[in-house]
Amino acid sequence: MTQQTERLAEADIRAILRAADELIATGGRTLLAKILKGSREKKLLQLELDHCPVYGYFKGTKLDDVLVKIDWMLDYELLDIQYSGKLPMIIFTERGWEIERDQRADEFLQEWNDWLAAGKQDPDMHYLKDRNRGMILLLLDKIKETGNPKYIPYLQEWEKIDYRKVRAAIRETIQALESDEPANLQAARERSASIQEALKGLEPRDVWLKCWVCGERFLFTAGEQHFFKQKGFVDPKRCPSCRGKRDDDIWLE
């Protein structure tokens, strides 16, 4: 399996994270690649994954090459694989989620801007209920940071239908927008710096691990890590000699 040595562009990283958001913990790397490729496969259409804004983002790229890009995301710890039963599922790393949560909140805010520009009134806000709480609170922070009272009617609609904790945050946002105090943008600046850092990913490098059996240290190379991450395996616990002669014993860790 080829390894992508060249850094992925920021736009590509963002697109892959956005597509991953559609199937987090419910789909693997192949399904993720197919969303980005714009596959017309039945399963994908049934799940309405063709509605994803980055569906077909890598339309002109071969599926295998899209997979190489996804594996780069795994190597750089922007995505991870976790087993659900026997099925390897894509999950976000902390770094990957930090980026995705932020751009997803921006996407929701952009939608509000579009609705407001179109004069849409009293939208049904149930679509925001039961979303990831961290992302929702971030969306409210971003609304607060605009300092723009145009969002208040939508916030009031939303406040009617959400849970107590979110309602309190909505109320606080409305009050901030009603007040004349300038919005505090310090948090926004810190968030943006942190996201730029997260976008770099974590460059894979050889690491020394300690064998659980004999206590000797052994090298776990970047190349081996690439393979392990792709398969969703945890780091090996035993050194090569304790693992025995069979190479494929590494699978049984």
Chain residues binding Zn ion by CB under 5 A are 211, 213-214, 239, 242
d(C-alpha 1, C-alpha 5), whole Å: 12
Distance separating alpha carbons of residues 88 and 192, to the nearest angstrom? 32
CA-wise closest residue to 164 among 172, 152, 154: 172
Of 98, 96, 134, nearest in space to 20 by CA: 96
Task: Look at residues 95, 161, 173 and name the one whose alpha carbon lies nearest to residue 125.
Answer: 161
> C-beta of 14: minimal distance to Zn ion in Å?
42
Nearer to Zn ion, 104 or 238 (CB): 238
Residues 6+ apart with CB under 8 A from 36: 15, 16, 19, 54, 55, 56, 57, 58, 66, 69
CB closer to Zn ion, 47 vs 242: 242
Residue 220 Cβ, how far from Zn ion at the closest point, in Å?
13
If the CB atoms of residues 112 and 218 are measured against Zn ion, the closer one turns out to be 218
Nearer Cβ to Zn ion, position 29 or 243?
243
Look at the alpha carbons of 31, 35, 36, 41 in this order and tell me if their dihedral is positive or negative: positive
Residue (106 or 253) nearer to Zn ion, CB: 253
DSSP strand pairing (79-84 vs 87-92): antiparallel
Instruction: Tell me how far, at minimum, the Cβ of 214 lies from Zn ion, in Å.
Output: 3
At its nearest, how many Å lie between Zn ion and the CB of residue 212?
8
Query: In angstroms, what is the minimal distance from the CB of 248 to Zn ion?
Result: 17
